[in-house]
Chain A
Amino acid sequence: MNIEAEPASIAARDLVVLEDVTKTYQMGTQEVHALAGVTLTFKEGGFSAIMGPSGSGKSTMLNLLGCLDRPTTGRYTMGGEDVSSLDDDALSELRLRHLGFIFQSFHLIPQLTVKENIELPLFYLGWEEEDSATRAHELAARMGLEDRLSHRPMELSGGQQQRVAIARALANDPTVLLADEPTGNLDSATGAQIMDLLCELNGLGKTVIMVTHETEVAAFARRRIHMRDGLVEVIDGNEEGEEGAES
């Protein structure tokens, strides 16, 4: 298996840095400050959970971190690159090469098979067909889905669908995995399995950033960032703590 990224460096470096980031939406005549000045750092190999009630700005945070959106003001760098200044094509390229998304409602393309869904990022990366088929097989086997490759998403259970989504998120061997309420549509047993999987992937060196409002789910992360009204309220836990102790 070569899902993991290059061997984690001894001293984890700052992968994602937000400096006084704001995001303002225009809602009719009213301005809504979804993010009111957030300064945060995500280290390589870390596992953070962003928590908070709805309207706290955690979804906006995830969209920004996922390079689907740009901040109104402030600096946002990923791997040293200033994301705030990139154009749409460059953002797409960044998502394609360095990010993997896991969504609450899985977001699989219903008319494609499991194999084709997993291959989707590879399609845009321009991989040869044989290579991407091999990669899809590996990932499916890793997720215990090797006998479901030709099924459509609708023929699978929720847990299986989410595992397909994780396999797809891993296909491009991303630096950061972004999970938006990954267990929100699953029963607690299946949800726990998915969380174990995410922990395992984090153990293999993937940086995981997760948005959730469930405390039990957030407990899997090493660091919890509590947000309220577009600001970081409390940070509990330490990304580096355990990691530093291990190495």
Chain B
Amino acid sequence: MKRFKLIRDIRLGIKNLLLHKLRSMLTMLGVVFGVGSVVAMLAVGEGASKEALDQIRRLGSTNIILTSMKPSGDAEAGSMRSFMSVYGLLYDDEIRIRESFPHINTTAPVRVFRKEGRLGPRIIEIRVLGTTEKWFDLVRRPMIGGRGLHERDLENSSAVCVLTELGARKLLATEHTIGEKIKIDKGYFEVIGIVKSDSGNSTSIESPDQDVDAYIPINVATERFGEVISRRVTGSFERELVELHQILVEVESTDHVESASKNMETMLKRFHPKKDYKISVPLALLRQAERTKRTFNIVLGSIAGISLLVGGIGIMNIMLASVTERTREIGIRRAIGAKRKQIIVQFLIETVVLSTIGGGIGIGIGLVIPWLIEKFAEMPTVVTPWSIVLSMGISAAVGIVFGLYPAIRAANLDPIVALRHE
């Protein structure tokens, strides 16, 4: 029985291709650029969407974030500067959500103030968040040192604060550490912990944390800074009464996110005649981003598909010419005893070798382009292993699909006619 020697056949194919080096190279170009563009475009697309998806994931996929918003139709604030605008989420909203909604794990109320933080000669603008110990359960950020807020701190109305890494570095510098007392506004707070901030550099999606934050018990915040927030706006004061700036809600699982957010919207609508709140659902954003990414991939895929199709047709064209040119050779091989199948394999291997080598070079180009983009355009790119596997598979498939017809044509030549061919 005859053994099927693939390696020998591949060597024969490569040899035949090397007989026409320039032609083989030009034939390959279509696949080279097709595959190169697939890998490069996927890397750029993947990089762009990864950034967006990471930002959203940081918000937590089981979280729902309610944020107070100044109603857009609030004209009084502009016309009567001394008037105090009252809007936003209520303490009661949080209680209602926590106590009457199903499948809620935890909620955390948040009040936000902008204050001056001071330690010795160093003064920084700091965002002070009045919240509860629940905040740390909800927004899972690793502690760098010390501890987060505790139930006790709220019960005792302790003047303690947790700083973010960057805030701590700015304020405490290297000389001080946990246990130091810093001055926020007019009072002193003991630093009990330092937490890693991971807001990314996003401003488009409201992250619960920012780079320079101080977290203090919510009751202490209200006690020290009051309910009314004054802000200096172009020469005059703007006064606002906002009970809660944010309510963070964590539901039991991602299955409940959608229904919970719908219920909250219904409830809030009933208690807030003006829409002075915003519900952001990271999961929905995530889904949206994933959909966008999918669409993007389909578009890129079609472009790449068309270029590969063109490359494949190029290969087929050249192989058909090659079959005509080598008619006599085919006749000789058949007369000597080569079977149809062996002629098919011979020609098919040539196209597959051509397209896979083209694919390999294409992958090389597809890896260099994202690297250059990252280096010079400073855009993030991600080359996923599956995109390489995919393009290798596609280029081999292109070789088979577009090589099959010329190969079959070669094999079906009548040996007598083929031998007479000049």
Shortest B341–chain A CB gap in Å is 8
User: A95 — which chain B residues lie within 8 A by C-beta?
Assistant: 335-337
Q: Judge whether A121 is part of the interface by a CB distance below 8 angstroms.
A: yes
Closest residue of chain A to B412 (Cβ to Cβ) is A88
Q: Judge whether B270 is part of the interface by a CB distance below 8 angstroms.
A: no
Is B419 in contact with A107, judged by CB distance below 8 angstroms? yes
List B1-40 residues whose CB lies under 8 Å from chain A: 2-3, 5, 8, 16, 19
Among B16, B336, B339, the most chain A Cβ lie within 10 Å of the Cβ of B336
Is A121 in contact with B340, judged by CB distance below 8 angstroms? no
CA of A124 to CA of B341 in the docked complex: distance in angstroms?
Answer: 11
Q: Judge whether B158 is part of the interface by a CB distance below 8 angstroms.
A: no
Is B3 in contact with A126, judged by CB distance below 8 angstroms? yes
Among A99, A103, A123, A172, the most chain B Cβ lie within 10 Å of the Cβ of A123
CA of A67 to CA of B416 in the docked complex: distance in angstroms?
Answer: 10
Is B16 in contact with A96, judged by CB distance below 8 angstroms? no
Is A66 in contact with B335, judged by CB distance below 8 angstroms? yes
Q: Judge whether B193 is part of the interface by a CB distance below 8 angstroms.
A: no
List A75-134 residues whose CB lies under 8 Å from chain B: 88-89, 92-97, 99, 101, 103, 107-109, 111, 120-121, 123-126, 129
Given contacts A88-B340, A107-B328, A109-B329, contact A125 B335 (CB under 8 A): no
User: B3 — which chain A residues lie within 8 A by C-beta?
Assistant: 126
Query: In the complex, which of the residues A63, A92, A97, A108 contacts B416, with contact meaning CB atoms closer than 8 Å?
Result: A63
CA of A68 to CA of B331 in the docked complex: distance in angstroms?
Answer: 10
Query: In the complex, which of the residues A68, A97, A120 contacts B333, with contact meaning CB atoms closer than 8 Å?
Result: A120
Shortest B268–chain A CB gap in Å is 78
Q: Judge whether B338 is part of the interface by a CB distance below 8 angstroms.
A: yes
Is A92 in contact with B337, judged by CB distance below 8 angstroms? yes
User: A99 — which chain B residues lie within 8 A by C-beta?
Assistant: 337
CA of A122 to CA of B5 in the docked complex: distance in angstroms?
Answer: 13
CA of A95 to CA of B331 in the docked complex: distance in angstroms?
Answer: 13
Given contacts A109-B329, A111-B16, A111-B19, contact A103 B419 (CB under 8 A): yes
Closest residue of chain A to B334 (Cβ to Cβ) is A92
Q: Judge whether A69 is part of the interface by a CB distance below 8 angstroms.
A: yes
Mask of A9-49 contacts with B, CB within 8 angstroms, 1/0: 00000000000000000000000000000000000000000
List B212-265 residues whose CB lies under 8 Å from chain A: none
CA of A94 to CA of B342 in the docked complex: distance in angstroms?
Answer: 15
User: A129 — which chain B residues lie within 8 A by C-beta?
Assistant: 8
Shortest A89–chain B CB gap in Å is 5
Is B19 in contact with A92, judged by CB distance below 8 angstroms? no
Q: Judge whether B332 is part of the interface by a CB distance below 8 angstroms.
A: yes
Is B2 in contact with A125, judged by CB distance below 8 angstroms? yes
CA of A103 to CA of B328 in the docked complex: distance in angstroms?
Answer: 13
User: A124 — which chain B residues lie within 8 A by C-beta?
Assistant: 2, 333, 336-339, 342
Query: In the complex, which of the residues A89, A111, A125 contacts B340, with contact meaning CB atoms closer than 8 Å?
Result: A89
User: A97 — which chain B residues lie within 8 A by C-beta?
Assistant: 337
User: B2 — which chain A residues lie within 8 A by C-beta?
Assistant: 124-126
Closest residue of chain B to A174 (Cβ to Cβ) is B337
Shortest B329–chain A CB gap in Å is 5
Closest residue of chain B to A106 (Cβ to Cβ) is B332
Shortest A9–chain B CB gap in Å is 25
Closest residue of chain B to A117 (Cβ to Cβ) is B332
User: A109 — which chain B residues lie within 8 A by C-beta?
Assistant: 329, 332-333
Is B419 in contact with A92, judged by CB distance below 8 angstroms? no
CA of A89 to CA of B328 in the docked complex: distance in angstroms?
Answer: 20
Closest residue of chain B to A172 (Cβ to Cβ) is B337
User: A88 — which chain B residues lie within 8 A by C-beta?
Assistant: 339-340
Mask of B290-333 contacts with A, CB within 8 angstroms, 1/0: 00000000000000000000000000000000000000110111
User: B333 — which chain A residues lie within 8 A by C-beta?
Assistant: 109, 120, 124
Is A68 in contact with B340, judged by CB distance below 8 angstroms? no
User: A107 — which chain B residues lie within 8 A by C-beta?
Assistant: 328, 331-332, 335, 419
List B389-422 residues whose CB lies under 8 Å from chain A: 415-416, 419
Closest residue of chain A to B16 (Cβ to Cβ) is A111
Shortest B404–chain A CB gap in Å is 19
CA of A96 to CA of B2 in the docked complex: distance in angstroms?
Answer: 12
CA of A89 to CA of B341 in the docked complex: distance in angstroms?
Answer: 9
User: B415 — which chain A residues lie within 8 A by C-beta?
Assistant: 68
Mask of B329-362 contacts with A, CB within 8 angstroms, 1/0: 1011111111111100000000000000000000
CA of A93 to CA of B334 in the docked complex: distance in angstroms?
Answer: 10
Given contacts A69-B416, A103-B419, contact A121 B337 (CB under 8 A): yes
Is B339 in contact with A89, judged by CB distance below 8 angstroms? yes
List 27 contacting pairs A-B, 8 Å CB cutoff, sorted by A: A68-B334, A68-B335, A68-B416, A69-B416, A88-B339, A88-B340, A89-B339, A92-B340, A93-B337, A94-B337, A95-B336, A96-B336, A96-B337, A99-B337, A101-B336, A107-B332, A109-B329, A111-B16, A120-B332, A120-B333, A120-B336, A121-B336, A121-B337, A123-B8, A124-B2, A124-B336, A125-B2
Residues in chain A within 8 A of chain B (CB atoms) = 63, 66, 68-69, 88-89, 92-97, 99, 101, 103, 107-109, 111, 120-121, 123-126, 129, 168, 172
Residues in chain B within 8 A of chain A (CB atoms) = 2-3, 5, 8, 16, 19, 328-329, 331-342, 415-416, 419
